[in-house]
Amino acid sequence: MRSAPADGALHVASGAGWRRGRRIRREAAMSEQTEVENGEAAAEVPRPRAEVLPPPPATTSSIVQNGDEEEMVEAWWLLHQGAAARASVWQILGELPRTVRQVGGFAWRANRTATVALVLLQTASAVLSAFGLVATVGVAQHIFADGPTPDRVRAAAPQLLLVVVLLSLRAALEYGVTVAQGKLTPLIRAALERDFYRLTSHVKLEAVDSPTWQDECYRARNQGLHYARQIVGHVVTLAAAALVLVGTASVLAVLHPLLLLLLPLSVLPVGAAAVKSAKARFHSFRRFNEMSRRTDVFSWLMLDRDTAAELRSHTAQRALLDEHARLTEQITAEDIRLNLAEARMSLIGRSAGGIGTGITYVVLGLMLIHGWLPLAAGAGAVLALQSARSSMTRVVDVAHLLYETSLWVGDLLEHQQRCRSLLPRRTGVAAPDTITTITLEDVHYTYPGKDTPALAGISLTLHAGQTVAFVGANGSGKSTCSKLLAGLYDPTDGEIRWDDVPTTHYDTESLQAQVASVLQDPTRYPFSALSNITVSRGTLTRAEPQRVLDAVVASGADQVIAGLPGTWSATLSKRFRGGQELSAGMWAKVAVGRGEYKDAPVLLLDEPTASMDPRAEHAVYQTVLRGKRRPDRITVLISHRLASVIDCDHIYVFDNGKIIESGTHQELLTLKGEYAAMFALQAAGYQATKIADT
Ligand SMILES: Nc1ncnc2c1ncn2[C@@H]1O[C@H](COP(=O)(O)OP(=O)(O)OP(=O)(O)O)[C@@H](O)[C@H]1O
């Protein structure tokens, strides 16, 4: 690093020192300008590093080509889609106990009373179903008995009444099941959703940078949470159908033990057909989904407000419509093909089921002929077997659905577990709320998944009351360094110390709370103007009125907010009715106001005024940087407009993750290095205009 011959006095901490230093530096800047006019320093303008890029091909595809199914199948978001179609019956059955236990756990934690009620009511309903069947058989026995018809009907009447009572009771119990399920489902989903957002919004920034984590997160949110909503319903339906099957078996055993043998004969072919058609349905669903996701991209581009202006200005609507139409045609053809395939599958299923039923009735007939079974019991058996067959179909369908659903929910839970391991450091020690020095010692930082470091040995010391600037070419590491200062990343090597205590000693979040960052591209919160300021102190609903006002006056956002209908309560987003749209410069003022309101001992400003008009920029520098609303504050300014860093106490010039020069503006000009060259280039632009004007 080329260091300017700085003496300690240049690290001005007092207000008087700041102003004196400013005057001296101004004079130096003016004499430097003369040098620029002579064209001396301009000769050292750094050359951009060159990479050789070959020319592109003449034709290209958008996001999907005909026949690129392989790529679609392997897309990460499809991980579990169609898993039920691929799994064997044993795999599906093997997963069931675990899933039921898991869902039971969710339900128990969400609401114990509703869970107990659900289990009891569901079981009672199944028992009533079985009794209902027995009562129906009783009715049949009377109807098929010997004697005159009026007598037989009269004899059947009490049993008939019992059937009606049992059915009504069952309806009441099922209502109870629906109510308990209706309570549990939203509670479970809300609990999972709360956990999901609590964990994902707290994980280290590095994790958020990782594409793998992003993929997982997207999948967990879009699929996991979606399926979590359905899983209770699936378990309840499966339990109901399975209990009815058990009830039916008991009824058959009561009618005649031999009838139990007829049960598998009747339900297994139906079950096999249901397995086949469920697999076909899942397979088709998966393929259909893959394709519609592609069209969604185009639909979104054509509808979204953010893309609307550019789309029109490029007159690119036609190109997008063509791609959309091409994909829609493929989807339509696929849709028709799948519908026909499903129809064929259903025909095969029904035929298999029909054969099974035929065999059952033949056996039943033989039993009746040989007198093994009274006619009335035979009629009851027909009813029982019919109910068993429809329950079996339901069991198979729901078991498939539940299998796939449980994979997605399992994915969500795994993601949550991973997030727990990615939470920021918790040492139980809070960072101090006043800081005298921040020292970076040989700090290295490499972004996850990258080979080259973004910071390669940064050493510097920042003092309370100082304003320092980070300058340098794009991608040289300035923002990364400020993020490390903000506690958003930890060095991969080297150390950061606050008053000689390594920052790893403190809770990460407590460090972050002591740093106000105004980032390059500030977040445009779709909240009220007031919440857009208070959010920096971790609240959207509570404000310290005078402090808010001082902060927005300092940043110039007071004029922005005063001009909004509704002022403080105006919603800053057109996405909501009555919302207001701010310009980029206005947003920048709001963001600086937000940083000021935090009133932290460290303020990091990453190109805060890039989109502001010259007057607004000047005002921000006067109040935020020079006005020193907090005299003990360490302020770091990142800027490409070198005119704005002239007055800083110290300037660090970054290049390729290293500091190559540092000093005051004057010292750096004297050094005639990279900074002097960049400054000369910018100053020459203004100078040329001045000369042309005169
Ligand atoms: N989140 C990230 N993940 C991976 N690499 C990143 C990330 N952010 C920045 N980088 C890389 O780190 C290097 C330094 O980037 P950084 O944003 O710190 O530069 P900068 O000096 O602030 O640039 P600019 O002046 O353009 O804002 C660059 O090579 C950049 O591509």
Spell out the domains of the chain, with CATH numbers in brackets. 1-43+425-514+603-609+633-694 (3.40.50.300), 87-256+373-421 (no CATH), 521-599 (no CATH)
- Judged by average pLDDT, the poorest of 184-188, 197-201, 315-319 is 315-319
Which two structure tokens, joined as six digits, stand for 295? 């069209």
- The pLDDT score that the predictor gives to residue 8 is 32
Per-residue pLDDT, averaged over 625-641, amounts to 82
How close is the Cα of 479 to the center of ligand 1, in Å? Answer: 7
ipTM exceeds 0.95, yes or no: yes
How close is the Cα of 476 to the center of ligand 1, in Å? Answer: 7
- Judged by average pLDDT, the poorest of 35-44, 229-238, 426-435, 544-553 is 35-44
pLDDT tens, 327-347?
888 778 877 877 787 777 767
CA-CA distance, 250 to 107, in Å (whole number)?
30
Q: Give nearest CA residue, ligand 1 atom 18.
A: 477
Exposure letters 586-621 (e unless 16+ CB within 10 A, then b): bbbbbbbbbbbbbbbbbbbbbbbbbbbeeebbebbb
pTM for this model (two decimals): 0.73
How close is the Cα of 454 to the center of ligand 1, in Å? Answer: 7
CA-CA distance, 196 to 176, in Å (whole number)?
30
CA-CA distance, 674 to 204, in Å (whole number)?
35
How close is the Cα of 440 to the center of ligand 1, in Å? Answer: 19
Q: Specify the higher pLDDT residue, 291 or 178.
A: 178
- The pLDDT score that the predictor gives to residue 576 is 80
How close is the Cα of 307 to the center of ligand 1, in Å? Answer: 25
Q: How confident is the model at residue 665 (pLDDT cuts 50, 70, 90)?
A: very high
- The pLDDT score that the predictor gives to residue 284 is 61
Q: How confident is the model at residue 40 (pLDDT cuts 50, 70, 90)?
A: very low
As a whole-number percent, the residues of the chain with pLDDT over 70 amount to: 82
CA-CA distance, 539 to 547, in Å (whole number)?
14
Atom of ligand 1 at shortest range from CA of 638: 22
Backbone angles phi, psi at 202, to 5 degrees: -105, -15
pLDDT tens, 162-182?
989 999 999 999 999 999 999
Q: Give nearest CA residue, ligand 1 atom 11.
A: 454
Q: Give nearest CA residue, ligand 1 atom 7.
A: 447
Per-residue pLDDT, averaged over 634-640, amounts to 93
Burial class (CB in 10 A: 0-12, 13-18, 19+), 513: middle
Nearest one of 133, 129, 157 to 143, comparing CA atoms: 157
CA 215 to chain centre: 9
Per-residue pLDDT, averaged over 566-584, amounts to 86
Please determine, for residue 597, whether its predicted confidence score (pLDDT) is greater than 50.
Answer: yes
CA-CA distance, 626 to 486, in Å (whole number)?
22
The residue type of 220 is A
Per-residue pLDDT, averaged over 541-566, amounts to 91
Atom of ligand 1 at shortest range from CA of 473: 25
CA-CA distance, 383 to 399, in Å (whole number)?
24
- The pLDDT score that the predictor gives to residue 220 is 84
How close is the Cα of 481 to the center of ligand 1, in Å? Answer: 10
How close is the Cα of 578 to the center of ligand 1, in Å? Answer: 37
Pocket of ligand 1 (CB under 6 A): 209, 447, 450, 454, 472, 474-480, 520, 654
Q: How confident is the model at residue 554 (pLDDT cuts 50, 70, 90)?
A: confident
How close is the Cα of 685 to the center of ligand 1, in Å? Answer: 27
The contacts of residue 304 (CB under 8 Å, 6+ apart) are none
As a whole-number percent, the residues of the chain with pLDDT over 90 amount to: 36
Per-residue pLDDT, averaged over 179-205, amounts to 92
Atom of ligand 1 at shortest range from CA of 657: 14
Atom of ligand 1 at shortest range from CA of 447: 4
Q: Give nearest CA residue, ligand 1 atom 15.
A: 475
Please determine, for residue 222, whether its predicted confidence score (pLDDT) is greater than 50.
Answer: yes
Q: Give nearest CA residue, ligand 1 atom 31.
A: 475
- The pLDDT score that the predictor gives to residue 268 is 74
